[in-house]
Structure 1
Amino acid sequence: MLFLPGTEGRKGEGGLRTEGYFKHSYVKRECERESERPNTVTDTNTNTNTNANTSHLTSNNNSWYITDSDNKPIKPAPPEIQQKINQYTTNQSTINQLPLISIITVVFNGEEYLEETILSVINQTYPNVEYIIIDGGSTDGTVDIIKKYEHAIDYWVSEPDKGIYDAMNKGIKLLTGEWVNFMNAGDKLLYLDHLSLVNCKTTNTCYYVKETEKLKKKESLTKLYLTHNTPCHQSVFYLRKELELYDLNYPIIADFEQMTRVCSKSFKPVYTKHLIFSAEAGFSYENTKDKSWKNLKARNYIVKKNMGLFYFTLALLHSLRIKFKKILSNLWD
């Protein structure tokens, strides 16, 4: 899906897609025939043609190709894209893949923090990022901030939704990248190391920093870790083919439910060199601090449903330990 269908209450939409500009993943391959090389480009300043295969664009008869969903080359990238990629890969001869990375920002009345989040994404040096912003119909200056940067946003829409996970589902339906990350209003993307993603074969987690705690932490996305904790969603880069829509039957812990589904597809944890800066502890993060029996019971049910009886038993024992410690604390008080 490239655009969301019109809905009542929509306040606007825009971005590069609405102007006919779409992004792809790219792979480098050797041109076997002259006809496979990119076409010539026009110098808009001199109105003359120049060869797109000159040294500043390609070398050693290598060209960048648009890939299909299986990462197989289908046709040469346009000359202007060839030039942009080769500028990025200068002195980095080992780079032969540039996967499209989708970053989704969900926001509602976030004018205080949104601009900082947008700048952290669009100022990355990696040249192949697809940026999507889903606004829940904000009534403050959020939309004005989005419009200020829509020249660097692939698609944005402002319309009512059913909550944060409904908005994130809209983003999932719209994305076309190989990798997906949710960087919501108030979060900052510090470093996007695409080489780490190229070497990953499954959804992975990364390092992140929390401003409020001045803490650098490595998250784990394993079944064992999920029996007693939840990684911040900002620290997870999902492989697109492993990501599913969030289950709206879990209005508070749908991100945890999503992670248990994804984690069940891979036993091996993967860490990357990404660095995420979480400027604000948002809705999802605050929920991880909820140790009420109701919340623990809901989490345990999800573990049993998606990860099986063994991990459910571990999660239950963890919940009972929390409950027992709380009882002892109340007795001492």
Structure 2
Amino acid sequence: MRQGGSRTVQNQPLPLVSIIIATYNAATHLPGCLDSITAQAYPAIEVIIVDGGSTDDTIAVLQQYNAYINRWVSEPDKGIYDALNKGAGLATGKWLYFLGADDRLLTGFSAMAQQLKDEDTIYYGNTKAEGPLFTGEFSAYRLAKYCINHQSIFYPAKVFQKYQYSLKYRIYADYALNLQVWGDKSIKKQYVDIPVAWYNLTGFSAVANDDAFKHDKPQIIKKSMGWLMYLRFLYKRRKEQSRPGSNFY
């Protein structure tokens, strides 16, 4: 295992936000991602990078940005969500935020971080992309139908003391986790109309399939959100899938 990171977080009156990035052979995109973090006005940021044992120049990039990274590790892993689970375990912030190496923070990230007040609340905003994304406020029912973009969400640390990403789902483990936490009455959800990040629609999660999640999704909804939501979802899915060209799952 290789590891590094030399940045320390100074005492700040603002809550610490841990930005967690999973990388693998990301040397092309990672500098732009890290530059978008260092450009933020919000001062209380911790950067955690978990690399899956890259064979390109990713390690050289990490070493180049060492002064801006609190901790990075590089070792073989079981995929993106294994890396993100590791990152959550390394984070010391009161809030956890997950960013792709090919994504970019917008200035709205800092404005959003200023909104973080209640450690029993998930705060989420919007993301932008070169194509359509589901944005705006999500009810439990809307989430049952459609995935909220991962890069729009700030999780209180308590979420990852209770939940983890399931490695069974190689693409939609974040969706599975969000279904769980949206059904958890002890965790409130607050939408703030702020664009947080630029999302790369050509990334792995945007172009690959996750048949295991699609198969299990109804049962996750039933377990997390109850029978009424489960039956409502099944009715909606049956109706939508009867339409030609539907990709509703």
Give the structure-1-normalised TM-score. 0.66
Task: Find the partner of 2:203 among 264, 278, 282.
Answer: 282
Task: Find the partner of 1:13 among 3, 17, 20.
Answer: 3
Task: Find the partner of 1:190 among 103, 106, 117.
Answer: 106
- Give the direction of change, closer, same or farther, for the CA distance of 1:131–1:295 in structure 2 (3 Å limit): closer
Query: Offset at 1:291?
Result: 9.7
Instruction: Name the residue aligned to 1:250.
Output: 169
Aligned residues of 1:227 and 1:314 also touching (Cα < 8 A): no
Instruction: Name the residue aligned to 1:322.
Output: 240
Q: CA RMSD in A?
A: 2.6
Q: Which structure exhibits the higher relative contact order, with contacts defined as CA atoms closer than 8 Å and separated by 6 or more residues?
A: 2
Instruction: Name the residue aligned to 1:230.
Output: 147
Instruction: Name the residue aligned to 2:29.
Output: 113
Instruction: Name the residue aligned to 1:157.
Output: 73
Q: How many aligned positions are there? A: 240
Query: Mean Cα displacement is larger for which, 261-270 or 236-245?
Result: 261-270
Query: Offset at 1:100?
Result: 0.3
Separation of aligned partners in 2, 1:98 and 1:121:
17
Aligned residues of 1:209 and 1:217 also touching (Cα < 8 A): no
Query: Offset at 1:320?
Result: 1.3
Separation of aligned partners in 1, 2:83 and 2:124:
22
Secondary structure in 2 aligned to 1:248?
A: coil
Is 1:270–2:190 an aligned residue pair? Answer: yes
4+ aligned runs moved over 6 Å, structure 1 = none
Separation of aligned partners in 2, 1:268 and 1:153:
30
Task: Find the partner of 1:310 among 228, 245, 248.
Answer: 228
Q: Which has the larger radius of gyration?
A: 1
Separation of aligned partners in 2, 1:119 and 1:227:
35
Give unmatched runs, 5+ long, in structure 1: 1-9, 24-80, 86-96, 329-333
Separation of aligned partners in 2, 1:220 and 1:283:
25
Identity %, equivalent residues: 33
Q: How does 1:1-333 map to 2 (within 5 A)?
A: 10=1, 12-16=2-6, 21=8, 23=9, 81=10, 97-191=13-107, 192-193=110-111, 194-198=113-117, 201-210=120-129, 212-213=130-131, 218-243=135-160, 244-266=163-185, 269-272=189-192, 273-286=194-207, 296-326=214-244
Note the alpha carbon deviations across 1:84-127, whole angstroms, 9 max, x for none: x5xxxxxxxxxxx4000000011111111111111111221111
Aligned residues of 1:227 and 1:318 also touching (Cα < 8 A): no
Give the structure-2-normalised TM-score. 0.86
Query: Offset at 1:274?
Result: 4.8
Instruction: Name the residue aligned to 1:54.
Output: none
